């Protein structure tokens, strides 16, 4: 096995001059949890526990989890995916030196071309093909920035709208391999572009992405505050407001609920989920706005996730059986839901069902699985607990490069 969560906790604990007891006290968790993780008797824990431990150790949760830190090539295609290229696109040195290269008249990308490129990028993003995004996104950001600089009037505002969305995609892409600080920079730039655009709703969806980034950083209180405060500012009338506004409100409520669950504010989380489900019922069908789904299916999936995080596996699986429109969600959302099902089955000692759920997640979004830290933890834990892991489980561990055999 490569370095486990427990190995990292022990190393960071000693660096911070904590005993197991003092770390447990600082994090507000049981010392037995710390001991079992460090002894590799447990290879995973609830995200709320990992967030608490990372906070006490003063590191980002992604560092504790040990998720992949770069993108793999998707074959022999050229150019290779590059986090450096994406960083350079988000923070180009040309802006610091004030030497942006001007384009000749008529050569700056048209708004139509930019929108087409953005839609293509969002399709790739929903399918979880992160290496492809890292390959094409720098060009889109550069083109959109060029267009915003060269165009005027309505075309300039439209170019800024594309640029804002491209920065948001960059933020989620950078956060996947644990580059949350770079993701934060991208979402800041998305906000600036949104304010120069012709679409005021871009700032709203940007705050949803910011909430998610804060959660990835372990800043759970900030994640809830950002999402809940923004939701409060745009709270709609469920009988009169356009459906897109209801959907954006619902997306923010789900972000806030997720953070509240991880902060173990269960009453608050339950109320936020109730409101989100009411918004979903008002819409009646599943929508996709700004590459983000919302509707009855996504509200149901979020409820399952909440039950899993609250250690209520029976309720999680009961709620999962009620979901009928899973195919309406993007592959990455579907795959995350199958991981939640696997976690619930593990809590109920149904490892065969858990294995099938993890295999279904991989089948749905295979590349996404390679960068999803929770999936790695789940599979590693399942392998370590079984004296004779099944062949499919071992094969899955091999494809995730977990170093088991």
All structural domains of the chain: 1-66 (1.10.260.40)
pLDDT for the residue numbered 93:
81
Structure tokens at 98: 């004030």
Could you give the 3-state DSSP secondary structure of residue 35?
Answer: helix
Structure tokens at 83: 């986090």
Structure tokens at 392: 């499919």
pLDDT class of 403 with cuts at 50, 70, 90: low
Structure tokens at 36: 């079992």
CA dist., res. 343 & res. 6, Å (int): 19
Q: Are 299 and 292 in contact (CB under 8 A)?
A: no
Which residues on adjacent β-strands are paired with residue 293?
Answer: 288
Helix (H), strand (E) at residue 352: helix 351-364
- Residue 171, pLDDT above cutoff 90: yes
Phi then psi for residue 72, to 5 deg, are: -85, 155
Residues 6+ apart with CB under 8 A from 311: 46, 347
- Cα angle value 392/331/134 (rounded, 5°): 100
- Residue 214, pLDDT above cutoff 90: yes
- Cα angle value 288/48/225 (rounded, 5°): 55
pLDDT class of 99 with cuts at 50, 70, 90: low
Could you give the 3-state DSSP secondary structure of residue 17?
Answer: coil
Report the greatest alpha carbon distance in the chain. Answer: 69
| Mean pLDDT within 84-93 | 86
pLDDT for the residue numbered 84:
82
Question: By C-alpha distance, which of 70, 50, 62 is closest to 217?
Answer: 62
Phi then psi for residue 348, to 5 deg, are: -100, 10
pLDDT for the residue numbered 196:
96
pLDDT for the residue numbered 343:
94
Helix (H), strand (E) at residue 293: strand 292-294
Q: What is the dihedral of CA 283, 284, 288, 294, to 10 degrees?
A: 80
Structure tokens at 140: 């889109």
| Mean pLDDT within 199-225 | 93
pLDDT for the residue numbered 382:
86
Q: Are 148 and 114 in contact (CB under 8 A)?
A: no
State the alpha helices, DSSP H only, in 151-242. Answer: 153-175, 180-195, 201-217, 220-233
Summarised one tens digit per residue, pLDDT across range 284-342 is: 999 999 989 999 999 999 999 999 999 999 999 999 999 999 999 999 999 999 999 99
pTM, two decimal places = 0.80
The DSSP output letter for 349 is T
Q: Are 297 and 286 in contact (CB under 8 A)?
A: yes
Question: By C-alpha distance, which of 239, 254, 145, 159 is closest to 205?
Answer: 254
The DSSP output letter for 104 is P
pLDDT for the residue numbered 78:
46
Which residues on adjacent β-strands are paired with residue 289?
Answer: 292
pLDDT for the residue numbered 344:
95
Instruction: Look at 220 and 105; give whichever has higher pLDDT.
Output: 220
Summarised one tens digit per residue, pLDDT across range 45-87 is: 776 788 788 888 988 776 777 655 556 554 444 455 567 888 8
State the alpha helices, DSSP H only, in 234-330. Answer: 243-262, 266-283, 296-309, 313-322
pLDDT for the residue numbered 376:
86
Q: What is the dihedral of CA 381, 386, 391, 392, to 10 degrees?
A: -40
Q: Are 182 and 87 in contact (CB under 8 A)?
A: yes
pLDDT for the residue numbered 2:
62
Summarised one tens digit per residue, pLDDT across range 8-26 is: 899 899 988 899 999 999 9
């Amino acid at each position: 096995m490569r370095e486990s969560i427990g190995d990292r906790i022990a190393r960071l604990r000693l660096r911070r001059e904590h005993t197991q007891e003092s770390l447990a006290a600082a994090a507000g968790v049981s010392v037995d949890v710390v001991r079992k993780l460090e002894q590799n008797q447990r290879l995973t824990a609830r995200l709320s526990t990992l967030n608490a431990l990372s906070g006490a150790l003063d590191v980002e949760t992604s560092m504790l989890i040990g998720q992949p830190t770069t993108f793999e090539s998707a074959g022999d295609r050229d150019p290779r995916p590059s986090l450096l290229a994406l960083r350079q696109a988000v923070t180009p040195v040309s802006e610091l030196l004030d030497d942006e290269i001007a384009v000749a008249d008529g050569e700056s990308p048209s708004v139509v071309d930019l929108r087409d490129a953005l839609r293509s990028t969002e399709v790739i993003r929903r399918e979880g093909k992160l290496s492809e995004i890292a390959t094409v996104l720098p060009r889109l950001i550069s083109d959109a920035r060029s267009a915003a600089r060269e165009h005027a009037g309505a075309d300039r505002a439209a170019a800024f709208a594309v640029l804002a969305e491209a920065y948001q995609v960059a933020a989620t892409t950078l956060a996947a391999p644990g580059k949350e600080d770079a993701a934060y920079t991208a979402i800041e730039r998305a906000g600036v572009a949104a304010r120069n655009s012709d679409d005021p709703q871009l700032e709203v969806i940007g705050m949803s992405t910011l909430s998610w980034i804060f959660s990835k950083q372990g800043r759970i209180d900030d994640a809830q505050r950002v999402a809940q405060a923004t939701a409060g500012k745009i709270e709609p009338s469920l009988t009169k407001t356009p459906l897109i506004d209801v959907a954006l409100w619902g997306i923010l409520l789900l972000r806030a609920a997720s953070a509240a669950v991880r902060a173990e504010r269960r009453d608050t989380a339950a109320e936020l989920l109730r409101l989100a489900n009411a918004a979903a019922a008002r819409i009646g069908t599943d929508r996709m706005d700004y590459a983000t789904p919302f509707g009855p299916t996504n509200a149901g999936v979020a409820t399952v996730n909440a039950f899993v995080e609250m250690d209520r596996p029976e309720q999680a699986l009961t709620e999962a059986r009620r979901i009928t429109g899973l195919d309406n969600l993007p592959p990455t959302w579907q795959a995350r839901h199958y991981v939640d099902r696997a976690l619930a089955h593990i809590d109920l000692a149904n490892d065969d069902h858990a294995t099938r759920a993890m295999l279904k997640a991989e089948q749905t979004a295979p590349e996404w699985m390679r960068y999803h830290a929770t999936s790695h933890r789940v599979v590693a834990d399942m392998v370590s607990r079984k004296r004779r892991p099944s062949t499919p489980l071992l094969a899955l561990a091999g494809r995730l490069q977990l170093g088991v055999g």
